[in-house]
Amino acid sequence: MPQNEKTGYARYLPIETDALLWGLHVVDCGYTEIAPGSEYPPGKERHPSNYMFSWENGRTLNEYQLVYITEGSGVFESEPTGRVKIEAGNIFLLYPGIWHRYQPTRETGWHESWIGFNGDYAQRIMTNFFPPEKAVISTGYNEKLITHIRSTTDLMRQAPLGYQQLLAARTIDILARIRSLSLSSSPINRKNADKVQQARCYLLEHFNEEIDLDALAKDLGASYSSFRRMFKAHTGAAPLQYQIDIRINRACELLTNTTLNMSEISEMLGFSTAYYFSRLFKKREGCAPFQYRKNHQAK
């Protein structure tokens, strides 16, 4: 679409079959510099009609989007968040099927960069780590983050072989950076993040042992309830579930790369019985351990 690339660029991709199979695919990306007093959103020469909206009516998309505001200010509103003031250094997230609207303040305008994406893996990330009621995230102006977001635009222009998978990898990296920045955006969060990191390291080192989580919390200077809350906020899982996930991940490796039987794997990973191991494995992976081995072990 013709546009002045100094002030804006957007590209919307047809989705190829192999991109869908990857689990996360980029649908669109771009950037726009909205000058003070300018029309918003920009005209239809930049965006397909199904992406256009008015402040009065808002919009609902069929994809996820992350929008990073690096200059200016404005307002964002969605059903889960209500109306929220947006400032430079804020990111707001859009979700499939959730009504929203946003616009810059006329006096300031704003500079926005965005990536639209979708897929099964995208849904898993967003569901577990980016709830719609916390769609506005303060990261501050981060040069590495803006460089990564803008690099998706460059990659779209070049479109080398396999570029949709490269776009997916960059988007996952960007989401990881956003989460990291959001978790360390205040002194309290940094202190909590240090405690969670200590706990994670301990759980990784002792994943096959029975751990006294109350004692672990006490060693970190917290009650178990507050420790559990901060741990889940940073990792997406409660401490016990995190330990189980480590064990199941290790079980997947052993089932794929060894001939150990279920009892041997269960004992090695610290499960009380092979039956308990099998039940938890099936709940997490959707199939019994022996079926997983059949599906994944090299012939």
* Per-residue pLDDT reduced to its tens digit, 141-186: 777 888 888 888 888 777 777 788 899 999 999 999 998 888 765 5
Across 270-292, average pLDDT: 92
Amino acid identity of residue 1, one-letter, is M
Q: Give CA 131 to chain center in angstroms.
A: 10
Given this model, what pLDDT does residue 2 score? 38
Q: What is the DSSP string of 196-232?
A: HHHHHHHHHHTTTS---HHHHHHHTTS-HHHHHHHHH
Q: How far apart are CA 299 and CA 295, in angstroms?
A: 10
pLDDT at 182: 80
Going by pLDDT thresholds of 50, 70 and 90, the confidence category of residue 3 is very low
Q: Is the pLDDT assigned to residue 188 strictly greater than 70?
A: no
pLDDT, average across residues 17-27: 80
pLDDT at position 46? 61
| pLDDT at residue 237, rounded to an integer | 84
pLDDT tens for 43-82 read: 655 666 777 888 999 999 999 999 999 889 999 999 999 9
pLDDT digits (tens, 9 = 90+) for 106-155: 999 999 999 999 999 999 999 999 999 999 998 887 778 888 888 888 88
CB 54: neighbour CB atoms within 10 A?
11
Q: What is the pLDDT of residue 174?
A: 94
pLDDT in tens, 228-279: 998 887 777 899 999 999 999 999 989 988 999 999 999 999 999 999 999 9
Cα atoms in the 13 Å half-sphere on the side-chain side of 13: 27
Q: Which two tokens stand for residue 85?
A: 């003031």
Using alpha carbons, list the distances in angstroms from residue 147 to 144, 151, 152, 162, 228.
5, 6, 9, 21, 35
CA distances from 56 to 31, 40, 60, 74 (A): 23, 12, 13, 15
Distance (Å, rounded) from C-alpha 159 to C-alpha 164?
8
Structural domains in the chain, sorted by start = 8-183 (2.60.120.280), 186-299 (1.10.10.60)
